[in-house]
Amino acid sequence: MTEKGIHTDFKDNMTYGEYLRLDKVLESQERLSGHHDEMLFIIIHQVSELWMKLILHELNTAIESIEKEELPEAFKMLARVSRVQTQIIQAWDVLSTLTPAEYMEFRESLGRASGFQSYQNRLIEFALGYKQSHILKIYEKDAELASELKAAYEAPGIYDVAIRALSRAGFPINQELLNRDFSVTYKGDPTVASAWLEVYRDVDRYWDLYQLAEKLVDIEDSHQQWRFRHMKTVERIIGFKTGTGGSSGVNYLKSVLDHQFFPELWDVRTKL
């Protein structure tokens, strides 16, 4: 049965496909090898990059909101980031249907291209406070992109603005942290540890800061799950081969699993 009122004449109106620019999106899956399973490989990575774009959109606005002392607005954005993270974690389950033999049929077509070069993944790491200077060299080919990455590399991450929020709330935070060199990965500070401990011991008084802390823990937890699933999927498909981008592959992915973005938020659980 056809419903009355459904629009069918789009000569002078925008269609769904035009709004989403599906012509460009769906023409962007070009298999260089022609192998059937290369389509899976391309789509998984493209979809993950789209989700990363949304993560960055939410994370960067959350950073601005925290700086403006608009914590409830930031909570909504950070909660959305956590939901998006479940999508990119589950994407590894789909990619893991690719067998080693199938991948080797088209791996050479990638040349030196590698997920290690994902600039959006780097921007997410920068927003979470993980900074590595040697990474920037990868992007020198594109001056505009290199400039964007350098700006993000030098900007405060979300934990830096959370520490500033602690200071504004009256906690005696080490003042050197508030305008430090943000291109240096944060390692931890006793004044920050003491502040979070007080927040967790008096949740009712510091409810907004407590909520902020838990939202950050959610994001780090999910990001580490994503890293782990990435590592295991790579191990499942190529074992311990060197990555196409020249990294040590699984060994590199394992090396970052122990890094903590927000160290005091994990340590506080032991101290409570």
* pLDDT tens digits for range 128-145: 999 988 889 999 999 999
Look at 133 and 166; give whichever has higher pLDDT. Answer: 166
195 occurs within a structural domain: yes
Mean pLDDT of 109-136: 93
Mean pLDDT of the chain: 95
Give the domain CATH number at 184: 1.20.58.480
In this structure, is residue 73 part of a structural domain? yes
With 80 as the cut, is the pLDDT of residue 115 above it?
Answer: yes
139 is in an annotated binding site: no
Does residue 4 belong to any structural domain of this protein?
Answer: no
Q: Which residues contact 138 (CB under 8 A, 6 or more apart)?
A: 117
- Whether residue 214 has pLDDT greater than 90: yes
Is 214 part of a structural domain of the chain? Answer: yes
Tell me if 42 is assigned to a ligand binding site.
yes
Residue 79 domain-assigned (yes or no): yes
Arithmetic mean of pLDDT, 64-81: 98
- Is position 45 annotated in a ligand binding site? yes
Prediction pTM value? 0.94
Structural domain count, the chain: 1
pLDDT at 1: 58
41 carries a ligand binding annotation: yes
**Which bin fits 127, alpha (ψ -120 to 50), beta or left (φ > 0)?**
alpha
**pLDDT value of position 2:** 67
The answer to the question of whether 63 is labelled as a binding residue is: no
Residue 187 domain flag? yes
Residue 44 annotated as binding site: yes
For the residues 94-121, what does the mean pLDDT come to? 93
Domain boundaries, position 151? 33-270
Identify whether the C-beta of residue 223 lies closer than 8 Å to the C-beta of residue 90: no
Number of neighbouring beta carbons within 10 Å of residue 2: 5
pLDDT of residue 255: 86
Residue 22 forms part of a structural domain: no
Reported as a single tens digit per residue, the pLDDT across 184-213 is 999 999 999 999 999 999 999 999 999 999
- Asked if the structure places residue 70 within a domain, the reply is yes
Residue 38: both structure tokens together? 């290369």
24 pLDDT band (50/70/90 cuts)? very high
219 marked as part of a ligand binding site: no
